[in-house]
Amino acid sequence: MPRIEVRILDPRLKDHPLPHYATAGSAGMDLRALLDAPLTLAPGECELVRTGLALHIKDPAYAGLVLPRSGLGHKRGIVLGNLVGLIDADYQGELMISVWNRGLETVTIEPFERIAQYVLVPVLKAELEVVESFEASTRGEGGFGHSGRH
């Protein structure tokens, strides 16, 4: 199992569990909002929320993804302002969550509420090789729906 170093940047987090896998099959660890008071988001409003944690992946063979929580996104309209957060292996700063109320009603986030999830994923690095033309292939120039398939 890969190891990620974590710094607890805010003493209030000492009373709360670190992000963890809720079940043996969970792919993500829930992330909690470090807030002094409830945060009210009007429809369309977006706020950068602290986690109070710095997670240093270190190994460039991995990256972190911050993803919405399904229930929160579907039922309360709370998703991420950047849709998906990409956490680089060399990032050592505080993990921040862009919380966006995409819904039509005002939503309140409570301090330490679980607002997103963190998934560690493997990363492949590609080297770009400039060529004059590609080998004959079955795909032409089309894209964005040009294949004619639905």
User: Does the annotation list 70 as a binding residue?
Assistant: yes
Please say which residue, 122 or 140, places its beta carbon nearer to ligand DUT: 122
Separation of CA 11 from chain center:
23
Q: Per CB under 6 A, does 85 bind ligand DUT?
A: yes
Q: Which of residues 91-130 bind ligand DUT (CB under 6 A)?
A: 91, 95-98
Residues 46-75 that bind ligand DUT (CB under 6 A): 66
CA 7 to CA 13: how far, in whole Å? Answer: 11
CA separation for the pair 109, 78 (Å, rounded): 9
- Which residue number, 87 or 120, has a Cβ lying nearer to ligand DUT? 87
- Positions touching ligand DUT (CB under 6 A) are 66, 82, 85-88, 91, 95-98
